[in-house]
Structures are given as C-alpha cells and as structure tokens.
Structure 1
C-alpha cells in the first residue's frame, strides 16, 4: 500500500515543476496544504509558477520555494536527449534519495516516463531509448526500495497525449487544446488514483486512446520477442492487417 503522498504538511519536491504536468502536480499539492519545492531550468516560467502558487497557499502553514537548476549538466546538442530525459532523472534521484531514505516518514517518488519508452515507435530512437532507460531505472528503484526502505513507494507516471508546454500548451492560460488531448490536471488526478490503489504503473489514457488500447499495444510489442517476429512489427506493412485484427479482439 502506497503512503498517503497528498496530505497536509507533507513536502513535495517537483522537478520540471514550472509548467505542464509538473505545474499541475504543484497545484494539487498546494490544495492539499503541502509544502512545495519547485525545481526548473526555465527561470521565467519558474517565477510565474511561484507567483501563481503563492496566491493559493496559506503562508502561515505552507512553505513554497522555487529553485532554478539545470539537472542535465551537459551542453552538447547530440547528448541533449539522453542528458535531459535520463541523466536529469538520475541526477535528481541521486540528489534527493539520501534525504528521503534517512527520514522514516512514509514518502513517495514519482518518475515520469513515456509510452514511447514502452512501445518504441519508429522515428526517434534516441528519445525512445532514453525513456526506456527511465522505465528500467524506476522499476529497479521500486524493487530495491521495497526491500531496504518499505515506507517509500515508487511510481512510474506515463502520460498519454497531454496538452502541455511541450506540446503547444500553456500552464497559465488554456488555449487551443486538441479534443483528444488530456489536460495536465487530468493526468495528475489519474496518477493520484493509481497511487491510492498502490499501483506502480500509472499509464494514462487520453481522449483518443483507452486503457485497453494501451494494453493491447504493449502486449503486441512483447509478442515480437516471444514469437520471434521482426522488431517493431506493428509498423511493418506485412503485419498491418494482423495488428488491426488483434486490436479488435478483447483482451
């Protein structure tokens, strides 16, 4: 059973907290009366987020801090994807884990992954590899902490199509959200529900893709290995009809 992460006077450290899903999570934490430390590499967004959240918290009971940090720590453009998506997560965990593990208070670690790190669609192998590595890292962290620090729960958040700053959205003004996309707030609400159920994986649907569709796509990918098919068969012309029929069947 996961600890009650969203509770008054708990402390949330949110990397990437100045926009998108991170900012939506900060808003939820503020509503619960939590202390919040926002970490982001965009100073302008960070200042706006801090100003917005300051209007929502009780200054007598809650602490709000904002720190501008670039956790990637690499400059080469060729390394940027792995730097941000993987080493940013590793650096964040290495920085915060000693503080979390020395405290006996029940706590939760939420790591954001991607469906591309699971289904591995063609077109952006570096991004897919980085997110696949994040998934592996989160799974091992969950396994190790369950033995050494059972009061700490780990969760992998995998958003679906979400209208955020990375996809043309704006955390402070809702404009032009595509019909099929979820808002960051919907993603955070879904995450909270999965955490309350004690789930590690929070693989979000959206307005176009259902939970069942996600499960079928993941199962198809796993069968590439088990059945020794060509990799990425879902996108190969020779498997097109078979995949379409598979998606029509019940799990």
Structure 2
C-alpha cells in the first residue's frame, strides 16, 4: 500500500495553475480525491472543473494561519485524513535586501510560512493515522545557490529547504518510513509565475515535466527531487551547488560565483570535465 493510491486524499496548495495544477491532475489520474487549494475562488473553481469529478475546490490564503487551520479542519470533516500533502503555493516578487518590508512580508508569508502552516495543520493527523503518507514541499534552486536579485525569494526557499530537511528527520523519528517528506526543486519552468510571453521558452521545462520527474523521484524514495530543464543538466546543477557550498569551506567572498574577482574562475570550473 502506498500514499499515492486510488481513493486516497491529496491536498495541493497553489493548485489553480502551474506545477500545482499539473500535480493535482496527476493525483486525480491515479484515482485520488484531490482538494484543490488556491486563493482565488474563480481560479480554484476553473482548476477543479479542468481536473474533473475527483477535484474539490477550496479557497485559502496560506499565509493566514487561522484560515489554514480552518481549512484543515474542514477537509478532515468532509474528506478524512490526508495521504498526500503538497505545499506548493508560492509567489515570485519580493526584491533585494532593501526592498520594502511589505514585499518581504508577502513573500515570506506565502512561500515559507504557508509551508509551515500546511505542515503543522495536516501532519499531526497523518501521524495519528496508521496509513502511508507523503509530504511534498516546493523549494527552488535559488534557495540553494542564492543568485542575487531577489533575496526575499531566495530566503523564503532556503527556509523551505531547512524546514523540509527537519521535517524528514521528525517523520523518521515518529513514523519510521510510513510517512515521507520530499523537497521538490524545480529548474527553469514555464508557469504563470515565470512566464514572460504566451510561448514556452525553449530552455524551460513544462509544469507537467516537473510533476512527472517529481513522481518518479517519490517512487524512488528520493528526498531531494532536483529537476533539470532544457538548458541546464543535472551535472551542471551539481557543480553549481558544490561551488556554492565551497564559498563557506574555502572562505571565499559571499556569492563568489557573481563576484568580479571570482566569476572567471567559476566559469573555468564549470567548463572543466
């Protein structure tokens, strides 16, 4: 018996579009009942209609703890215990360190605290049951390599990484292997949040490709589900992540990959086989 199984219940936040919508479709295609959560009534209803009879639309601002707790209680009363929880809701704006505090509050409230709220609202009931479970939190490569430009977003996704790593340890301690946590790390993906035009860039993956990769990773038992795309290979991602870790180990300047004294060395490093 697995969590992703016919008649089991999945909850997906940020499910009205992009990766969340494709994930909800995939869970429904597996015969699961799916609660489609987003903050817009109209968008959530359209997504549920697109998914079909197994989808149940519910509206929630994931940054609002009381609203999330109410959502979880309502889902429990109507549909029972959750087998798959995907904390996927996210926003992309925010800005650099000196951006307005309201922008920071918005990004951290959705991208980080929305995941905290989801975990705390649903996981205790999952632990109390005797059924298999899966928790998927959507992170980002930016939360690992920290490219300059949108520090607020980077911080939020770095927090999701740390949170999900801690969750994995907690679940191992309290549930053995019955409930697993997974960190989804998308690459360049064409979604409503990232789209610059109506046509998908050649270098981007589709949201469906990300979800297919995610499901393969979950089936394999992977915690870090690192997605390549059409312009960045897994090997390149590995080298970039190792370089970022090397900043600490070798005491380089912060974000040396973009530092004028180090960027040429980084380019040579990436060119090495």
Whether TM exceeds 0.5 here: the answer is: yes
Q: 1:71 aligns with which of 39, 42, 62?
A: 62
Question: Which residue of structure 2 lines up, in the alignment, with residue 217 of structure 1?
Answer: 240
Q: Deviations over 1:146-182 (max 9, x none)?
A: 1111200100001111111112289xxxx41111111
Per-residue Cα deviation, 1:130-158 (whole angstroms, up to 9, x for no partner): 11011000000001111111200100001
Shift of 1:36: 0.6
1:180 counterpart residue number: 203
Aligned match of 2:193: 166
SS of 1:9's equivalent in the other structure is coil
Q: Which runs of 4+ in 1 moved over 3 A?
A: 74-78
SS in 2 for 1:199: coil
Q: Distance in 2 between matches of 1:206 and 1:6?
A: 25
- Counterpart of 2:157 (choices 131, 150, 161) is 131
CA contact (8 A) 1:4 1:196 kept: no
Q: Which moved more, 1:181-190 or 1:125-134?
A: 125-134
Q: Which has the higher contact order (CA 8 A, sep 6+)?
A: 1
| Per-residue CA distance 1:193-224 (angstroms, 9 max, x = gap) | 11111110001010111101110000001111
Structure 1 position 115 matched with structure 2 position 138: no
What secondary structure does 2:246 align onto?
helix
Distance in structure 2 (CA, Å) of the matches to 1:42 and 1:249: 48
Paired residues in the alignment total 237
Asked if the contact 2:190/2:205 (under 8 Å) is kept, the reply is yes
Which residue number corresponds to residue 166 of structure 2?
A: 140
Partner of 2:226: 203
Secondary structure of 1:166's counterpart equals coil
Q: Tell me the secondary structure at the aligned position of residue 205 of structure 2.
A: coil
Q: Cα–Cα, structure 1 residues 215 and 78, in superposed 2: closer, same or farther, change >3 Å? A: closer
Stretches of structure 1 lacking an aligned partner (at least 5 in a row): 58-62
Superposition map of 1:37-48 within 5 A: 37-48=35-46
Q: 1:243 to 1:169 in 2, by over 3 A?
A: closer
2:127/2:174 contact within 8 Å kept: no
SS at match of 1:110: strand
Aligned mates of 1:242, 1:141 — CA distance in 2: 37
* Conservation of the 8 A alpha-carbon contact between 2:187 and 2:229: yes
- The answer as to 2:120 corresponding to 1:94 is yes
Work out whether residues 104 and 152 of structure 2, in 8 Å CA contact, stay in contact via their aligned partners in 1: no
Query: Alpha carbon RMSD of aligned pairs, Å?
Result: 1.8
TM-score with structure 2 length normalisation?
A: 0.83
